[in-house]
Amino acid sequence: MKVCSIDREEEELILSEEQQRSLSKKLVESAKLVTSKEAFLESIRQRAESENENKFENIIQKIIGNLAEKSTEIRPQVRFTTVGSVHRIGNGVATVSGLPDVSIDEIVTFPTGVEGMVLNLDRKHVDLIMLGSDQGIRGGDLVQATGKRLQVPVGSQLLGRVVNPLGKPIDRDEIIEASEHRLLSKIAPGVIERTPVNESLFTGTKMIDMLFPIGRGQRELILGDRQTGKTTLAVDAILNQKHTGVRCVYVAIGQKKSSTLSVIETLREKDVMSNTVVVMSSSDDPPALRYLAPYAGMTMAEYFLDQGQDVLIVFDDLSKHADAYRELSLLLRRPPGREAYPGDIFYIHSRLLERACKLKQSNGGGSITALPIATTQNGNISAYITTNLISITDGQLVLDTGLFNQEQKPAIDIGRSVSRVGGAAQQPAMRRLVGNLKLELSQYKEVEHFTRFGTEVDETTRRQINKGQRILNILKQQPNKPYSYSMTIVVLYALNTGHFDQVPINDVENYENSLIDFFLHRENKLLIDIRKETHLSESITDELDHALSAFNQYWLEIGDENK
């Protein structure tokens, strides 16, 4: 048994040796195979490289051949560029000699990249207004004409943005992808393309909407001394367009940056900035930018006009615009005229405001309503610029300093203010309720004048004075709190039906505020019905009577609780 076991071990050893030899043979064969594969791959790589080199050489030769063929077709060209040299520069204007082929309003470039616009042509030189800083520009520098006129970006992308008169954003670094660019100057639509103003544009100021209605496409001038609430009236008109679909453009001309930023903050706080374009030119900007600002704003407004939309544009203010143009004209050595203004000062405002209009439906049916603002001195509305603007516009709202100091805000002088469109732009319901309101106020002013001297008056005159005082208290309004059309109708109806007659004059304001709060919270459906209908139907008047009776009961309960 022991021998057999030894034989088996030897046999197992022999088998293992054979396996080892077989394995060695396989390894050798595998090594040969790997070597042959590497050699094969190397040969392929070398062949590919040679083919690529030949291919690249063919491509290069082909390109060179094409270039040589094209070069034979090139013809030498000579390009002529109109150039000039700086003769004098400073204070935002420049005098350039040369530039024989330039035209008015053409853009030229200086070596620093700053642009200028041609404003005056002479036989031997050209006068320019600088559209940027003149630092780094010296006499003798080369000026090159571009053959182009000044254009600004327009489009709905500008809504919610603050831009300078050249259309460049100044609120943030985000670039404006404008729909298109348009020239600043444009001929106003002709009479055939227009239609009469017959649709109301509610400003939210009770006194204006009741007594001096403004229509879409109208130009209503706002006059007054400094710090009398002119900008507030215009801003309230913008705030009241929040849900009306009317686009708004606010143009600040030569205003302090703090004042313009305050207006922008108000627009953002009331959530109407997204519907407004702000064109900003501050008092420290070059006079050229202050001069171009209103034209840039009007060009941006005309884009929406061409889309068939309604636009409200505010120019704050054109007195500073006239001053900027006078500054430029005197620097350009133009002869001064009345009050040192050049003779064409009327033209620069008329060609601006004439672009505000209401178009026919066949031309899109859009409108531009302009609210230009002008500053007076000591209430003098017969000054040169003021009378020019009055003759161009369709009415004026005159703010009185005395009324303002007496806390009668808005301080609109009823005797000197007018809207030449009149009732044509007023809703029939409001026209019916207003009636002789303006006449009653005028009569109250005359009668109240006599009572200052201690003159005794009869009971009828006393009632007339009391009613006039109540009307004036009702027409008072806090800034940046515009009234809707429906709420104005409610207040007017309450006044006409005698609901204010039993209220003490000192409590009229509290009574009105409570009335507004009552209707907003309890009679919202009635306000919607009033807004939908142009006339006061019998059913609406019945509902108004019922609601006012309910409010009077509520007012008595409040009074008892306060006691």
Among all residues, which ones are annotated catalytic?
420
Gap between the Cα atoms of 279 and 184, Å rounded: 14
Mapping DSSP to helix (H, G, I), strand (E, B) and coil, where does residue 227 land? coil
Phi, psi of 375 (to 5 degrees): -100, 135
Mapping DSSP to helix (H, G, I), strand (E, B) and coil, where does residue 220 land? coil
Q: Which two tokens stand for residue 111?
A: 């070596």
> 108: which strand partners?
116, 145
> 367: which strand partners?
310, 358
Mapping DSSP to helix (H, G, I), strand (E, B) and coil, where does residue 375 land? strand
Q: Which two tokens stand for residue 402?
A: 């005395």
Contacts of 185-192 spanning 24+ positions with Cβ under 8 A: 185/105, 185/149, 185/295, 185/351, 186/299, 186/302, 186/355, 188/351, 188/354, 188/355, 188/357, 189/355, 189/357, 189/359, 189/363
Tell me how crowded residue 511 is: count the other CB atoms within 10 A of its CB.
23
Gap between the Cα atoms of 319 and 375, Å rounded: 6
Q: Where are the beta strands (DSSP E) in 30-114?
A: 83-90, 93-98, 106-109
Alpha helices, H only, 476-507: 485-496
Give residue 172's identity as a one-letter amino acid code: R
Instruction: Give Cβ neighbours of residue 398 (< 8 Å, ≥ 6 apart).
Output: 223, 224, 379, 381, 412, 413, 416, 417
Helix-strand-coil split of the chain, %, nearest 5: 50, 20, 35
